[in-house]
Amino acid sequence: MRWSNLFIPTLRDAPAEAEAVSHQLLVRGGFIRQLQSGHYSMLPLGWKIHKKVSAIIREEMDAIGGQEFLLPAMHPADLWQKSGRWETMGEEMFRFVDRKGADQALGMTHEEVFASLGTEITSYRHLPQIWYQIQTKFRDEPRPKSGLLRVREFAMKDSYSFDIDDEGLNTSFDLHHGAYVQIFSRLGLDAFPVEASSGAMGGSASVEFMVESDAGEDDVARCLSCGYSANVERASTALIPIENRSSGDEPESFPTPDVRTIAALAELGHSPEHQIKTLVYVVDGELTLILLRGDHPFLEQKFIDITGAGDLRPATGEEIRSALGASPGSLGAVGVTNLPIYVDLALQNRSGMATGANTDDVHYSGVDVQRDINVTKWVDVRAILEGEPCTNCGDPITITRCIEAGHIFKLGRRYAEAMGTTVLDSEGKSQTLTMGSYGIGVERAMAAVAETHHDENGLMWPMSITPYEVVITLLKTDHTESVASAEQIYNELSESGIDVLLDDREERPGVKFADSELIGIPLRVTIGPRGLENGIAELNTRSNNQQTEISLDSVVGEVTNLVTEGRSKSS
């Protein structure tokens, strides 16, 4: 391809709203353009990368026995109603009513559709099955941001496994795990697996593949000593032992005028680790108390995962006062017997604690949690803190900001049961299939590569997904010998199967160099009159900005070898 004929609208400056580096560089480099918030057009360079990322994903999915489908993006409401997710997906699902008055949705994911197709699997002899597609998904994000990292319309590879038992599901899950490791390696991403929350997808287990980046939206707990890693929504740490304070035979009340916070109570001699924090939530319509240690944050996702709550919100002031007789700041669970009480594990065996007395401006001291509180269930619902001990080895945990590049789930039988996806087993008995679900966002993978492969001058694409593998920069388009030499090298590289771009624009050399660095092509061959006089060309390697002079006769061979080497690293 000739640059003069190619649509690459590079920009000197990034849009003011672009905060993530990938957003800035993909816009400046002419890869994408925003149509509206959360919706991006793929321009020629961006679409070439998109197709190369998709090709790698397809190759690895096919290698584990995947069969490619293409399913509708618009779904009837009744399909989602069968699984119960029509109600639970909330405002993030695009919904509309068609001209016939039927409720419709734009697919956020395709578990229901694939499970309904799975009803045509009739015998255990046809198992296992791995089905996948690369299809457009829609999510009505309230705050799209960071370019391709959080959008409302995106391409996703979603695959689904069907097995007759949990042993088969484990095998399919492991196959996908291995495929994902290979995919991310080929994309040039240093992605690592972490334990994760299954969220709205449900199921028994899930693993996320994370890429460390400040542009990410997930925090990951990692132990650098033993390798433990988990999303903070799932992570647990060991507790540093705390000596209980003395307490009497029963709690003692004491006045606390105008004391409404953990910090204010601490000023009266009750440090946060010796306080009980009482939160009041409405859980699936029922007022519920959630207790944590005073210095521990509450993590809603952990509570949802443990309880299976479909609707969770903080209670209003009126609801709290009506049930407990006091306002926030003076709340507690001592003596409460008519409400569910979930207590964080950090409060087990704790005594000498301070908590609200459910009377305004009054607290209790000397509370023994097991003795004085009617615990409904002990749960791990606290957010971990950096530096806490690893549960495996005891060394400090670090918390790292990451991009979620992929997510794999053991769904179990939830969707198969909803859709009636059953087969006859070897004894002729009907068995509900067990499923897995596995996703990779194509544009998000592009953005993750951009976030981790750039310098101050622009992008640095890996050879596996670069839009062009080499650019030939012609310094003077009016110099006949230079043009002839560049054309010859261009033609020979093209005939050798190299993805080559000839920069034949009538621009200053500085502009051409800056543009080639901005769009991140791995190799640049520079042809100019001065070099021709000496029979040499300049070869630049983008990954390390190394420049070398090579003879004109060896350009094609040297570039071909470098491209072949680069490709081999991602195969």
453-475 pLDDT, tens per residue? Answer: 999 999 999 999 999 999 999 99
pLDDT digits (tens, 9 = 90+) for 62-88: 999 999 999 999 999 999 999 989 988
| Residue 345 located in a structural domain | yes
3-state SS track over 235-288: CCECCCCCCCCCCCCCCEEEECCCCCCHHHHHCCCCCHHHEEEEEEEEECCEEE
Residues of the chain with pLDDT > 90: what percent?
91
Q: pLDDT at position 361, please?
A: 95
pTM of the model: 0.90
CATH assignment at residue 307: 3.90.960.10
Together in a domain, 69 and 156: yes
| Residue 400 located in a structural domain | no
| Residue 203 located in a structural domain | no
What is the phi/psi pair of residue 393, to 5°? -125, -10
| Residue 369 located in a structural domain | yes
Domain span at 338: 252-379
Residue 563: is its pLDDT beyond 70? Answer: yes
DSSP class per residue in 165-179: SHHHHHHHHHHHHHH
Question: DSSP label at 34?
Answer: E
Q: pLDDT at position 246, please?
A: 87
| Residue 178 located in a structural domain | yes
Q: pLDDT at position 102, please?
A: 97
Together in a domain, 369 and 516: no
Write down the mean pLDDT value for the chain.
94
Nearest C-alpha neighbor of 554 from the set 544, 569, 539, 543: 539
Q: pLDDT at position 282, please?
A: 96
| Domain end position, chosen among 450, 471, 495 | 450
Together in a domain, 86 and 181: yes
| Residue 117 located in a structural domain | yes
Q: pLDDT at position 248, please?
A: 87
Residues of the chain with pLDDT > 70: what percent?
99
Number of domains in the chain: 3
Together in a domain, 311 and 369: yes
Give me the amino acid identity at 495: E
Q: pLDDT at position 200, please?
A: 56
Give me the amino acid identity at 390: C
Cα–Cα distance list, 468 to 49, 118, 138, 196 (Å): 9, 41, 30, 36
| Domain end position, chosen among 396, 430, 450 | 450
Q: pLDDT at position 15, please?
A: 87
Together in a domain, 442 and 462: no
Together in a domain, 297 and 151: no
Residue 303: is its pLDDT beyond 80? Answer: yes
Q: pLDDT at position 101, please?
A: 96
DSSP class per residue in 430-469: EEE-EEEEEEEEHHHHHHHHHHHSEETTEE---TTT-S-S
| Residue 245 located in a structural domain | no
Phi-psi category of 547—alpha, beta or left, where left has phi over 0 and alpha has psi -120 to 50?
Answer: beta
Which run of H or of E encompasses 364? strand 362-367
Mean pLDDT of 383-405: 94
pLDDT digits (tens, 9 = 90+) for 148-204: 999 999 999 999 999 999 999 999 999 999 999 999 999 999 999 999 886 655 566
pLDDT digits (tens, 9 = 90+) for 495-524: 999 999 999 999 999 999 999 999 999 999
Together in a domain, 324 and 440: no
- C-beta atoms surrounding 209 within 10 Å: 24
Q: pLDDT at position 203, please?
A: 60
pLDDT digits (tens, 9 = 90+) for 310-365: 889 999 999 999 999 999 999 999 999 999 999 999 999 999 999 999 999 999 99
| Residue 389 located in a structural domain | no
Together in a domain, 34 and 92: yes
Strand residue runs (E) in 185-248: 192-195, 205-212, 218-222, 229-231
Together in a domain, 49 and 102: yes
| Domain end position, chosen among 330, 357, 379 | 379
Together in a domain, 432 and 338: no
Q: pLDDT at position 262, please?
A: 96
Together in a domain, 446 and 466: no
Together in a domain, 352 and 476: no
Q: pLDDT at position 202, please?
A: 57
Higher local confidence (pLDDT), 55 or 240:
55
Sequence-distant (6+) residues with CB within 8 A of 270 are: 354, 363, 365
CATH assignment at residue 556: 3.40.50.800
Mean pLDDT of 212-218: 94
